[in-house]
Structure 1
Amino acid sequence: MVKVAVLGAHGQVAQLTEELLFNDKDVETTLFLRNASRLAKDKDRATIIDGDATKEVDLEKAIKGQNVVYANLAGTGTIDKQAKAVVEAMDKLGVKRLIWISTLGIYDEVAGKFGEWNKATLGNYITEYAKAAKRIENSDLDYTIVRPSWMTNKDEVDYQKSKKGEPITNTEVSRKSIASYVYELIQNPSEDIRESIGLEKPGTEGDKPSWY
């Protein structure tokens, strides 16, 4: 039995991942979020904990005894605080495996005009997420940082991976693809350890996502 804590459990990608976890009889799931009543529908399928991801004491309630922590957190101005609290809680409790959702552009790895557009559009968002990613990378955790391209709601699993230092040229990837990759990591916890992985749908190169 693999025990998985999902932090930021109300997020769109998180909820897609949760459906995969709920259908796996070998996974026991704990959901952590603000206003836990928003996931009351899942109370018979998971342990649900209400808390603030910037507070280590709150996070400990969800992380204690887990095998994997999947963090689907967000918030310009708070994401680095959340990263700090997650690292400290995991260190304190001796939990090593972390899957951390970040964003593209944190290493200035987005190529060409798409990169220029991405930087102009996201602005300080990239800076804050870069700080959080650096904090994760400087930890001794068995992390995988995930850097998706611009997300769609397409009903498809179609993605390619890139490692830190490799350019990202494709403009989109589906949320379902990200959820599938996260689930793959949970099933294979030794995969992509201490790696920062870009996710992009092949064949979607352009100056910006097609819907902009």
Structure 2
Amino acid sequence: MNILILGAAGKIGKLLAAEVLARTPYDLVLYARNAYSRLNAIDSTQVKIFDGDFRDIGTLTEAMIGIDVVYINDMGDDQATNIIIEAMKKVGVKRVIGASVLGIYDEVPGAFGRWNKMMIGGSPRMQAQIKSARAIEDSGLDYTLLRLTWLYDQKDNKDYVITMKGDPFRSTQVTREAVVQLIIDIIMAEDERFIGKSLGVGEPDTEWDKPSFY
């Protein structure tokens, strides 16, 4: 299997690349701005690196040749998301996993929902996330959206709980390590249970008024 990580120099992108290399025989294409300097510590025959941004359809198209799964690490630019979709269709890649954020459907209730809206609800970036998610859902691609709650790092904490679209989303936090575990579980799934789904991603037993680190 060939996996393209768009935004590979981000924290989750780097963790995902390391886990894929450690646990699978899959080949990786790592795509990021200033990729050669930011990803120079990765040395593997399983890896190709592309330097570009999400609006560069020529470089995106080249990077997608032979790819089975595209992971988008950031959908905070809806114009870029549309260009990624265009590039995928041009090359014929169908499978995409996109990292979005909680609240794009106004699905977070209670005190946490009010806190989350205060923090990010009215931002231009949130509006871009909403448009990006809609574009992915309407794309005709075999998509999985991940609506990530507030992120933190904790080594070896890979516990996650998922919430389906239409259900209240109450988990206030989740580790990046758990998000990576879920992405790998999705990639390695032998059935189609994750396709066409928008999943709220949180940590079990974190239904609080706000994340513990705030």
Q: Per the shorter chain, which TM-score range? A: over 0.9
Give a deviation string over 1:67-117, Cα, whole Å, max 9, x none: 000110254xxx101210110000111100000000000000111111111
What's the Cα RMSD here?
1.3
Alignment of 1:32-43 (within 5 A): 32-36=31-35, 37-43=37-43
Question: Residue 195 of structure 1 is aligned with which of 194, 197, 203?
Answer: 197
> Is 1:21 the equivalent of 2:20?
yes
Partner of 1:204: 206
Query: How does the TM-score come out when normalised to structure 1?
Result: 0.94
Any unmatched runs of 5+ in structure 1? Answer: none
Contact 1:119 1:126 in 2 (8 A): no
Question: In structure 2, what is the Cα distance between the partners aligned to 1:179 and 1:14?
Answer: 8
- Which piece of structure 1 moves more, 94-103 or 115-124? 115-124
Per the TM alignment, residue 181 of structure 1 is displaced from its structure 2 partner at its CA by: 0.4
What letter is aligned with 1:18?
A: A
User: Between Structure 1 and Structure 2, how many residues are aligned?
Assistant: 208
Contact 2:75 2:81 in 1 (8 A): no
Any unmatched runs of 5+ in structure 2? Answer: none
- Structure 1 runs (4+) deviating above 6 angstroms are none
Partner of 1:137: 137
SS of the aligned residue for 1:53 comes to coil
Alignment of 1:80-159 (within 5 A): 80-122=78-120, 123-124=122-123, 125-155=125-155, 156-159=157-160
SS of the aligned residue for 2:101 comes to coil
Partner of 2:62: 61
Task: Give me the identity figure in percent.
Answer: 38
Question: In structure 1, what is the Cα distance between the partners aligned to 2:38 and 2:183?
Answer: 22
Question: In structure 1, what is the Cα distance between the partners aligned to 2:13 and 2:38?
Answer: 13
Query: How does the TM-score come out when normalised to structure 2?
Result: 0.93
